[in-house]
Structure formats: C-alpha cells, structure tokens
C-alpha cells in the first residue's frame, strides 16, 4: 500500500512540474525594426510590474522612450527588452531601476538603460 501511494504521489509531482514548466512564457528577443509596433503599449518589468507606456521609438539606435505612471521618462535599449507575442517585457528591470534611469535622463539627456544588472564578483584574496 505504501509503495503504491509513493508511486502515485511521485507521478503526480512529475505531472505538476511538467505542467508548470509549460506554463512559463517563452520570451523572444526584440528587433530594432519591429519597435514601431509597440508605441502606445505598456512595458512590463520584473514580476510583471507595469513600468510605463512606450511613447517614442528610435529604430536605428534600438531605443524606446517609456513614460511612467508618475511622470518618469526613461530610454531603454533593446538589450533589456523581450517580447511574448505582442507583449513587451523588460524582465530584469525593477520599478526602482526604471526611476533611477529617469533621474539619470534628467541630469544627462539621452542616458539609456542598458544591461542594468551586471554584477562583478571579485575572487577572494589569499
């Protein structure tokens, strides 16, 4: 009885894990020439937080201008953007990073958010 119950429980866990893996969205890269179609669409950040709405596009530079809910404005490079169908995502950008990019753009016009989460780890001394 316990062997049969254990087998049933493990089969159920594999089934649940398999379905959860299929439920994750497949994010694709964004091409610069396709940016025009996202004007007026919301960009979602980390944890699907709405960052803002695409207000302008520079296809040659691969940059979009995003206006936040509270008047923030940040330029984002296609290197931080992904798409899921017609949904535009910046999966590594938090709202705090978006706000910092807005402040940087106010102090230095044209500052663009590129690869915001690069972490350099130094080897231990000795």
Q: Please provide the CATH number assigned to the domain covering 28-113.
A: 3.90.50.10
Write out pLDDT tens, residues 23-64.
556 889 999 999 999 999 999 999 999 999 999 999 999 999
Confidence band for 11, pLDDT divided at 50, 70 and 90: low
pLDDT surpassing 50 at residue 20? no
Residue with tokens 């230095």: 108
Query: What is d(CA 29, CA 88) in angstroms, rounded to the nearest whole number?
Result: 10
Domain ranges of the chain: 28-113
Enter the tokens of residue 40.
């007026």
Tokens at 113, concatenated? 């958010």
Cut 0.75: pTM above it: no
- Mean pLDDT over the full length of the chain: 83
């Amino acid at each position: 009885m316990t062997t049969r119950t254990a087998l049933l429980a493990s089969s159920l866990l594999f089934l649940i894990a398999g379905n959860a893996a299929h439920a994750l969205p497949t994010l694709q890269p964004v091409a610069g020439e396709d940016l025009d179609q996202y004007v007026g669409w919301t960009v979602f950040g980390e944890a699907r937080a709405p960052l803002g709405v695409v207000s302008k596009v520079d296809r040659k530079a691969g940059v979009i201008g995003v206006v936040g809910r509270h008047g923030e404005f940040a330029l984002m490079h296609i290197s931080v953007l992904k798409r899921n169908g017609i949904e535009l995502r910046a999966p590594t950008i938090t709202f705090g990073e978006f706000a910092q990019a807005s402040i940087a753009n106010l102090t230095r016009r044209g500052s663009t958010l590129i690869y915001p989460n690069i972490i350099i780890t130094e080897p231990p001394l000795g």
